[in-house]
Structure 1
Amino acid sequence: MPQPELTSLPAVPTLLRELELARGSRALVLAASHLDLELLPAIYEQCRQIGQVARLDVVLHGRGGVVNAARRIALLLRQHARHLTFIVPFHCQSAATLLCLGADEVIAGDLALFSPIDPQLNGADGGAFSSLDIKVFGDMAERWFGVDAGEARQQSLSLLCGSVFAPSLTAFYRTTLELAQIGEELLAWQLPDHLPEARRAIVEQLMAGYHSHNYALTREELAALGLRMARDEDAERLGWAISTQLQASIGGALRSAPEQAWNDALLATRDGVLLRRQQPGGFAPQWSTVAPA
Structure 2
Amino acid sequence: MEFLFGTLIWIFFLMMALGPMWQQVKINQKRFHLTRKFEKHRGSRLITLIHRQESFSFLGIPFSRYINIEDSEQVLRAIRLTPPDMPIDIMLHTPGGLVLASEQIARALENHQAKVTAFVPHYAMSGGTMIALAADEIIMDGNAVLGPVDPQIGQYPAVSILEAVRLKGTQKVDDNTLILADMSAKAIAQVGDFITYLLTDNLGEEKAREIADILSSGRWTHDYPINCEFLKKLGLPVSTELPAEIFAIMDLYPQPPQRRPSVQYIPLPYGKEEK
Give the structure-2-normalised TM-score.
0.72
Q: 1:213 to 1:76 in 2, by over 3 A?
A: same
- 1:246-257 maps to which residues of 2 (within 5 A)? 246-248=253-255
**1:223 matched to which residue of 2?**
232
Residue 101 of structure 1 contacts residue 190 of structure 1 at CA under 8 Å; is this kept in 2? no
Shift in Å, 1:81: 4.3
Aligned-partner residue type, residue 102 of structure 2:
A
Deviates more, 1:52-61 or 1:196-205: 52-61
CA distance in 2 between partners of 1:168 and 1:189 (Å): 33
User: How has the CA–CA distance of structure 1 residues 220 and 154 changed in structure 2, closer, same or farther, with 3 Å as cutoff?
Assistant: closer
Paired residue for 2:170? 157
Whether 1:199 and 2:226 are equivalent positions in the alignment is no
Residue 79 of structure 1: how far off its partner (Å): 4.1
Q: Matched residue of 2:253: which SS?
A: helix
Opposite residue 239 of structure 1, the aligned amino acid is: I
Contact 1:26–1:53 (Cα < 8 Å) also in 2: no
Alignment of 1:3 onto 2:20: yes
Aligned-residue CA RMSD (Å): 2.8
State the shift of 1:226 in Å.
1.3
- State the distance in 2 between where 1:36 and 1:164 align: 27
Preserved CA contact (<8 Å) 2:162 2:181: no
Further displaced range: 18-27 or 215-224: 18-27
Does residue 51 of the first structure (1) align with residue 60 of the second (2)?
A: no
Matched with 2:11 is none
Change over 3 Å in CA distance of 1:255–1:25 after alignment to 2: same
- Over residues 25-82 of structure 1, what are the superposed CA-to-partner deviations in whole Å (9 max), with x where a residue is unaligned? 2222122432223333322332344433331111112211122322211222344441
Q: In 2, distance between residues paired with 1:243 and 1:190?
A: 29
- Listed as ranges, the gaps of 5+ residues in structure 2 are 1-17, 52-64, 260-275
- Of 191, 196, 212, 1:184 maps to 196
Q: 1:154 to 1:112 in 2, by over 3 A?
A: closer
Q: Is the 1:64–1:92 Cα contact (8 Å) retained in structure 2?
A: yes
Give the number of the structure with larger relative contact order, counting CA–CA contacts within 8 Å between residues 6 or more apart. 1
Amino acid at match of 2:213: E
Which of residues 48, 66, 72 is equivalent to 2:104? 72
Normalising by structure 1, report the TM-score: 0.68
C-alpha contact 1:56 1:81 (8 A) present in aligned 2: no
The answer on whether the counterparts of 1:88 and 1:109 sit within 8 Å (CA) in structure 2 is yes
What is residue 130 of structure 1 aligned with on the other side?
157
Percent sequence identity over aligned pairs: 24
Q: How many pairs are equivalent? A: 227
Question: What residue is the counterpart of 2:268 in the other structure?
Answer: none
**CA deviations over 1:89-140 (Å, ceiling 9, x no partner):** 1120001101111110100113422111111121xxxxx12123234448xx
The match for 1:213 is: 222
* Pair 1:239-2:256 in alignment: no
Secondary structure of 1:57's match?
strand
Q: Deviations over 1:235-277 (max 9, x none)?
A: xx2212222333527xxxx899xxxxxxxxxxxxxxxxxxxxx
Q: Is the 8 A contact 1:98 1:183 kept in 2?
A: yes
**What are the ranges of 5 or more consecutive residues in structure 1 without an aligned counterpart?**
123-127, 139-152, 257-293
The SS at the match of 2:145 is coil
Moved over 6 A (4+): none
